Structure 1
Amino acid sequence: MSNTLHPPVRPEYELPLQTFNEIAVERRLSFTSRLWAQGWLRKGVILIVLAVIWELAARWQNNDLLFPTFVATTHALVEGVISGELIEKVAISLSVLLQGYFIGVLVAFALTTLAVSTQLGRDLLDTLTSMLNPLPAIALLPLALLWFGLGRGSLVFVLVHSVLWPLALNTYAGFQGVPETLRMAGRNYGLRGLPYVLQVLVPAALPAILSGLKIGWAFAWRTLIAAELVFGASSGKGGLGWYIFQNRNELYTDKVFAGLATVILIGLLVENIVFRTLERVTVQRWGMQR
């Protein structure tokens, strides 16, 4: 009884604080470690190593007609840029690519907006993606030639097909992954239809949308080059793929490799400048992605 009325009191004690000088201070990273932490430097080293391997393999092969050296390819690339021929071909290809890419993005956004708004839209998106997503865009080229003729319209048609379905699938998957709490918050504010999609679903699903944009870009870029290898661009003017095809016919293998290197360089620039900057100012800044 007495123990219940008078419970034992735990003695108090105080831990003395250590002075600042006694705390172990983490040693700063060396200049070499900080420099190696830069992504651009590591990627640059990888590219240099690949270029050295290319040069050694080409010299061992010793046949410029089959496999030109890295030095010869670089010379042809610089020569094409200085003469303006390569710049003109790149400009033609990119103008067609951007047109088809943006049309594909708009159509994909319209389909996914309809899919998250109505049951009919979900059924439509599911049916179309199941039917058309496995179909290679380049397989539609003969049909595009019949419908739009030999020109820009045919290229844009196959580009829209190559962008539309991967972007729509990624965007819809991102919308489906939005937490229910955010959905309820948007509905509580009275958001419906397009405002609900733009203000709630798109910001929350932005990592998946950016992934779809990158996949769509890669599909569109390689589809365009493949299509131009067949029939060029509008009004008889060929793009970068046509440049590769013509030089292959004339056995200028160094220029063929220069065209292929240009395709790779443009892909690297778009990936590391455009999309990486877009990720840094959005999802990384918002803490949605590391």
Structure 2
Amino acid sequence: MNTLPASRPEVLFELPPLPAQAAEVPVGLAQRLWQRDGLRQALVLVAIALLWEAAARWAGNDLLLPGFLQAAAAWWDDLCNGELLTRTGISLGLLLQGYGLGIALALGLSAAAVATRTGRDVLSALTALFNPLPAIALLPLALLWFGLGPGSLVFVLVHAVLWPVALATLSGFQGVPETLRMAGRNYGLTGLRYVLHILVPSALPAILSGLRIGWAFAWRTLIAAELFFGASSGRGGLGWYIFQSRNELMTDKVFAGLATVVLIGWLVERFVFDTIERLTVRRWGVQRQ
């Protein structure tokens, strides 16, 4: 007895024709410019400047709130006579020293934490103890230990950078998916090649986030420390420039110094960290655009 089901007759369905593809509308110049992040951020800065000038004109008191144009004139004068450049160079030199040393120590602690359970326990204990401690609170001890010199500022900068970078790096390495780890082992990657080709690319978004946070902490800690340290030693960078201008009741120069701090922070974010992201994690597809 044949138990197989009867075969169904084949039917040929004709698909409807595809609709005509609409011609692509060329993107205008204004739309292309608006798609650039830098232009949109620049427009935000222009809007802030306009609001600042309007608020200053409404207040009518140059001592309390000078206008944007007045602060810009003071900024340009000190930029041309070299004072602002000198102060900025001092601050950036100290910042690079503390930031670089903090990153090196953070990577060392993170590597030990990834390699061994003991290193992970040590890093967890140290971050729980010292990460909540403001770096500027260590400045009095730094002055006792290192004296009135750059060593005191570098010490507090290392403290500001070390813990957030170490935590972000460890979190990035621990968050690497197990499938990527197994894929790397299946391809025979071991040792340094395994770290560079599997762990680092996958953990790089978290590492860059930690570097950004460490940079912000270090930059504002340095300015705050120079407000105190510069007053003690009679020299310093942008923080001392702001402090000295406040003592001389030159509020326009105070705003010029603050604007320089903000501008440097924006430039570093825009041209350093954004460029690194675009050339690495976004190109690799690890992070969404």
Establish whether TM, by shorter chain, passes 0.5. yes
- Residue 83 in structure 1 maps to residue 81 in structure 2: yes
Structure 2 letter corresponding to 1:231: F
Deviations 1:27-85 (A, max 9, x none): 33333322222222211221111111100111111111111110100000000110000
User: Which residue of 1 is the match for residue 113 of structure 2?
Assistant: 115
Contact 2:38 2:270 in 1 (8 A): no
- Residue 217 in structure 1 maps to residue 208 in structure 2: no
- Separation in structure 2 between the aligned mates of residue 5 and residue 204 of structure 1, nearest angstrom: 54
3-state SS in 1 of match to 2:281? coil
**In the TM superposition, what are the counterparts of 1:1-290 in structure 2 within 5 Å?**
4=4, 6-15=6-15, 17-18=17-18, 22-187=20-185, 189=188, 191-192=190-191, 196-232=194-230, 237-289=235-287, 290=289
- Separation in structure 1 between the aligned mates of residue 78 and residue 27 of structure 2, nearest angstrom: 44
Aligned residues: 287
3-state SS in 2 of match to 1:170? helix
Quote how far apart the aligned CAs of 1:26 are.
4.3
Structure 2 letter corresponding to 1:107: L
Quote how far apart the aligned CAs of 1:196 are.
4.3
Unaligned runs of 5+ in 2: none
3-state SS in 1 of match to 2:22? coil
Contact 2:161 2:215 in 1 (8 A): yes
CA gap of 1:76–1:114, structure 2 versus 1, over 3 A, is same
Q: Percent identity?
A: 62
Contact 1:144 1:154 in 2 (8 A): yes
Unaligned runs of 5+ in 1: none
Contact 1:73 1:254 in 2 (8 A): yes
Structure 2 letter corresponding to 1:191: T
3-state SS in 2 of match to 1:114? helix
- Separation in structure 1 between the aligned mates of residue 234 and residue 251 of structure 2, nearest angstrom: 23
- Separation in structure 2 between the aligned mates of residue 163 and residue 25 of structure 1, nearest angstrom: 53
Structure 2 letter corresponding to 1:248: R
Deviations 1:164-192 (A, max 9, x none): 11111111111111011222344453624
- Separation in structure 2 between the aligned mates of residue 18 and residue 96 of structure 1, nearest angstrom: 65
CA gap of 1:257–1:286, structure 2 versus 1, over 3 A, is same
- Separation in structure 1 between the aligned mates of residue 80 and residue 25 of structure 2, nearest angstrom: 50
Contact 1:183 1:200 in 2 (8 A): yes
- Separation in structure 2 between the aligned mates of residue 117 and residue 33 of structure 1, nearest angstrom: 50
If the length of structure 1 is used for normalisation, what is the TM-score?
0.93
3-state SS in 1 of match to 2:63? coil
Structure 1 letter corresponding to 2:90: I
- Separation in structure 2 between the aligned mates of residue 236 and residue 185 of structure 1, nearest angstrom: 58
If the length of structure 2 is used for normalisation, what is the TM-score?
0.93
- Separation in structure 2 between the aligned mates of residue 178 and residue 18 of structure 1, nearest angstrom: 44
Structure 1 letter corresponding to 2:11: P
CA gap of 1:177–1:44, structure 2 versus 1, over 3 A, is same
